[in-house]
Amino acid sequence: MTRKIQTVGVCGAGGTMGAGIALVAARAGFRTISYDVASAPLERAAKQSAAFLGKSVERGKMKPEARDSILAAMSHTADIGGLESCDLIIEAVFEDLGVKRDLMKRLDAVCADDVIFGSNTSTLSITEIASGSKRPERVVGMHFCLPAQLMKLIEMSPGILTSDETFRAAWEWAETCKQIPVKTQDKPGFILNALLVPFNNDAIRAVEAGVASAADIDLAIKTGLGYKMGPLELVDLVGLDTQIRLCEAFYPITLDPRAATPPLLKRMVAAGLLGRKSGRGFFTYDGNAMFGA
């Protein structure tokens, strides 16, 4: 039987996506334990989360006592053993199959057998990730949209061995958090990245070909198609290095030439232009506040 979800763990919580997922869980009233391999990224994420919630208070979207309650529900640890009490653990670690499989094995060693493991992978197979665990029936895909603390969608993907009970419990948790889950199959890129990776690459190639500036390409797409964010602004938010990893994960599986890494992207990353997190990508940024703060 699946235990009642009361405590949520987030692995890779020092990153942008992990920090956002932790906010989603704590904001919904769950005790939330954020884990990363080092203290420094966790401390940075904690400061960004506090600033994000502080801005919500300043803008009248949240009362101070609500902010304080959310922050009180959040704790941080660089010791994976600190996740022992969790009922649901969502991983948002490096987009590498070996890294995720290894994490599953490490979680097996510290977690009870009825804990649910959710994977925030955006391109990798849930079934292959679950093969790193001795309980593949308890592993389910839970792909949040970036930034997780603002976007509502979660792509919910069962692996071949994911039990109906696990999938239902994870789905109900997502709804409790006031997110909008959609069921997808365990296919490369699910829905969003199957469409977005090639589309974002097209925009990057348009910049490289001199079709227009990054600003004008984004403005055209936002104005003409009604997008809230242009593709190049989105790549800056996700991280140019992350876009490369998405391409490297997606292209060998699909052999879609549009999913191959654009040469400009490689050159920019080599120059240290990673997007928002480095202060410069296709655009220039001041500070490193969490998106929406």
Q: Give pLDDT tens digits for 239-251.
A: 999 899 889 988 9
Domain 7-183: give its CATH superfamily.
NAD(P)-binding Rossmann-like Domain (3.40.50.720)
Q: Which CATH architecture has domain 193-278?
A: Orthogonal Bundle (1.10)
Give the integer Cα–Cα distance in Å for 273 and 24: 29
- Residue 24: closest CA among 124, 163, 121, 143: 143
Give the integer Cα–Cα distance in Å for 125 and 130: 9
Residue 38 burial (C-beta neighbours within 10 Å; 0-12, 13-18, 19+): exposed
The token duo for 18 is: 């992990």
Instruction: Centre a 10 Å sphere on the Cβ of residue 164 and count the other Cβ atoms it contains.
Output: 9
Residue 78 burial (C-beta neighbours within 10 Å; 0-12, 13-18, 19+): middle
Q: For residue 100, what pLDDT is reported? A: 97
The token duo for 126 is: 């849930």
For the chain, domain boundaries: 7-183, 193-278
Confidence of residue 2 (pLDDT cuts 50, 70, 90): low
Average the pLDDT over 124-148 and give the result. Answer: 95
- Which active-site residues does the annotation give? 122, 143, 155, 193
Q: Is the pLDDT of residue 13 over 80?
A: yes
User: DSSP class of residue 284?
Assistant: B
Check if 7-183 and 193-278 are the same fold. no
Q: Is 11 helix (H, G, I), strand (E, B) or coil?
A: strand
Instruction: Centre a 10 Å sphere on the Cβ of residue 72 and count the other Cβ atoms it contains.
Output: 10
Q: For residue 249, what pLDDT is reported? A: 83
Confidence of residue 238 (pLDDT cuts 50, 70, 90): confident
Residues 136, 128, 116, 86, CA torsion sign: positive
The tens digit of pLDDT for each residue in 196-225 reads 999 999 999 999 999 999 999 999 999 999
Q: For residue 151, what pLDDT is reported? A: 92
Q: Is the pLDDT of residue 135 over 80?
A: yes
Phi, psi of 33 (to 5 degrees): -115, 115
